[in-house]
Chains A and B, each alone.
Chain A
Amino acid sequence: MNPIALSNLDLALAAGLVLVHAALSLALSLGLGRQLIIAVSRMVIQLALLGLVLQFLFETVSPWLTLLAALVMIGFAGHEAVARIGRKFRGAWGHGIGTVSVLVAAMLIISYALTTQIQPDPWYHPRYAIPLLGMVLGNTLTGVSLGLNTLTATAARERVAIEAQLALGATIWRAMRPTLREAMRSGLIPIINAMVATGLIAIPGMMTGQILAGASPETAIRYQMLVMFMIAGGTGIGVFAAVYAGTWRLTDARHRLRLDRLAEARTD
């Protein structure tokens, strides 16, 4: 079965739905008109550019261009992962921890999936590597962002309790254990909730896209399961790496809590 091609008119009709959103914003004085226009414009422009880039990558099938595209995506993901954290690490560490965590998680998961399960020829074929990377990155950065945000916020909030344990001779890892656990949980709970809801409450976009494009439900479901496993694994590795690296940076060799390494809290 071939997919039903969408014309520009079809897309324009669908875009009309955004007008409902805009009308509601106007009627309720939500003040979201500007943000809505920016969001819609960004989405259209980003997807159009992505289409051009993917078309080019699929035609060239170059390992270096695929790697370059992957690194650019990871760089943006690392930036987004720390952009919404209330108290960021000072200096290069802020972006460094987010980017390296996402990089390690994404590269491990994608390489594993491409070389052992999907096995396209060549294994780095961008038709498989880039979309899968996008799926893994989108979820990993959410987990990393939540994990780091909880880590820094909880360490600042619980400073007196953490230092009370340090003053009694506890190691920093013992004193930070509840904080670490809370940060890990907050980073991992969204993917656990997503897995519980998948197929029952929500039909994932990727699976819907495959079915609309003509794939059998069985194939679409197998790919969806694979992607969910990859996302869960990637999020786990990313959150673990980010929370531990963040804790390492929030402390020092003398087992002290170093909140001075965090920037001031955002006030917005």
Chain B
Amino acid sequence: MSLRLRGLTARGLAPFDFELGSGECVAVMGPSGSGKSVLLRAIADLDPNEGTAALDGEDRAAMTGPDWRRRIGYLAPVPGWWADRVGAHFPDREAARPIIEALGFETGAFDWPVARLSTGEGQRLALARMLVGAPKALLLDEPTGAVDEASRDAVEVLLKARLASGVPILIVTHDSEQARRLAKRALKIDKGAVHEGHP
């Protein structure tokens, strides 16, 4: 599975070309406000943007927004919840169980009220919720920004398993160590300009 971008541009982001190969992880790095989140949201087609994007040769423009986003898993830096209990966000609990257990939760977590989740728990559960849909590529915006070391390691193990199965990952991180652990290439963004480099 590969992700190909051609002339992609969005608010404040200069047009650029980029290709993410099967099972490859690329770290997106840059100072706060440089356009990292804009880039991921543009690829996920959550904001108006121009240019082309294709996943495994399937052009984004040839499918609806929801169809594209079911293929591309986008994780926002702040998780959103639309029901009171965690379980209501997981329609298929059987499929979710191994993922949330791998992230350090017990199945009782389904009964937890969302309002009592810590920021880190929310981030990990939102990641699990997204992975249940088995997206073909992952766009992760600071997925471990608020989690402790043990939880971060659990997240990375899960991500490495996805990489091993051929899923490409674009990950925004301020943690250069994490970037080096997961990625061999980096996209460095500064004031909306995108350059390729190393983490």
Residues of A whose CB lies within 8 Å of any CB of B are: 158, 160-171, 175, 178, 252-258, 260
Contact of A163 among B80, B129, B133 (CB under 8 A): B80
Are B69 and A169 in contact (CB-based, < 8 A)? Answer: yes
Contact of A166 among B46, B75, B78 (CB under 8 A): B46
| A168-B70 in contact given A162-B80, A178-B82, A256-B65 (Cβ < 8 Å) | yes
Are A256 and B46 in contact (CB-based, < 8 A)? Answer: yes
Are A254 and B44 in contact (CB-based, < 8 A)? Answer: no
Are A164 and B82 in contact (CB-based, < 8 A)? Answer: yes
Are B46 and A167 in contact (CB-based, < 8 A)? Answer: yes
17 A-B pairs (CB sep. < 8 Å): A158-B82, A161-B80, A163-B76, A164-B76, A167-B75, A168-B70, A168-B129, A168-B133, A169-B69, A169-B70, A170-B66, A171-B66, A178-B82, A252-B48, A254-B64, A255-B64, A256-B65
By CB atoms of chain A within 10 A, which of B46, B70, B73, B76 has the most?
B46
Say whether B67 faces chain A, with CB atoms less than 8 Å apart: yes
By CB atoms of chain B within 10 A, which of A163, A171, A253, A260 has the most?
A163
Are B66 and A166 in contact (CB-based, < 8 A)? Answer: yes
Are B76 and A165 in contact (CB-based, < 8 A)? Answer: no
Interface Cβ pair total, 8 Å cutoff: 63
User: Which residues of B sit under 8 angstroms from A162, Cβ to Cβ?
Assistant: 80, 82
Contact of A167 among B67, B81, B130 (CB under 8 A): B130
Say whether B45 faces chain A, with CB atoms less than 8 Å apart: yes
Say whether B110 faces chain A, with CB atoms less than 8 Å apart: no
Are A167 and B44 in contact (CB-based, < 8 A)? Answer: yes
User: Which residues of A sit under 8 angstroms from B74, Cβ to Cβ?
Assistant: 167
User: Which residues of A sit under 8 angstroms from B82, Cβ to Cβ?
Assistant: 158, 161-162, 164-165, 175, 178
Are A169 and B66 in contact (CB-based, < 8 A)? Answer: yes
Contact of A164 among B48, B64, B70, B126 (CB under 8 A): B126
B interface, by DSSP: helix, strand, loop or mixed?
loop
Output the least CB separation between A65 and chain B (Å): 46
Residues of B whose CB lies within 8 Å of any CB of A are: 44-48, 64-67, 69-70, 73-76, 78-82, 126, 129-130, 133
| A255-B66 in contact given A161-B81, A163-B46 (Cβ < 8 Å) | yes
Query: Complex formed: what's the CA distance from A165 to B82 in Å?
Result: 8
Output the least CB separation between A210 and chain B (Å): 49
| A164-B133 in contact given A170-B66, A256-B45, A256-B47 (Cβ < 8 Å) | no
Query: Complex formed: what's the CA distance from A168 to B81 in Å?
Result: 12
User: Which residues of B sit under 8 angstroms from A255, Cβ to Cβ?
Assistant: 64-66
Please give 14 more A-B residue pairs, beta carbons under 8 A apart, in addition to A163-B80, A255-B64: A158-B82, A161-B82, A164-B79, A164-B81, A166-B65, A166-B66, A167-B130, A168-B130, A168-B133, A175-B82, A254-B45, A256-B45, A256-B48, A257-B46
Query: Complex formed: what's the CA distance from A170 to B126 in Å?
Result: 15
Are A169 and B67 in contact (CB-based, < 8 A)? Answer: yes
Output the least CB separation between A160 and chain B (Å): 4
| Nearest 7 A/B pairs, CB to CB | A164-B80, A169-B70, A160-B80, A255-B65, A254-B65, A161-B80, A161-B82
**CB-nearest residue of chain A relative to B66?**
A169
| A168-B76 in contact given A178-B82, A254-B45, A255-B64 (Cβ < 8 Å) | no
Output the least CB separation between B33 and chain A (Å): 18
**CB-nearest residue of chain A relative to B133?**
A168
User: Which residues of B sit under 8 angstroms from A168, Cβ to Cβ?
Assistant: 69-70, 129-130, 133
User: Which residues of A sit under 8 angstroms from B81, Cβ to Cβ?
Assistant: 161, 164
Output the least CB separation between B54 and chain A (Å): 16
Query: Complex formed: what's the CA distance from A252 to B64 in Å?
Result: 11
Query: Complex formed: what's the CA distance from A108 to B70 in Å?
Result: 42
User: Which residues of A sit under 8 angstroms from B129, Cβ to Cβ?
Assistant: 168
Query: Complex formed: what's the CA distance from A257 to B45 in Å?
Result: 11
**CB-nearest residue of chain A relative to B80?**
A164
User: Which residues of B sit under 8 angstroms from A169, Cβ to Cβ?
Assistant: 66-67, 69-70, 133
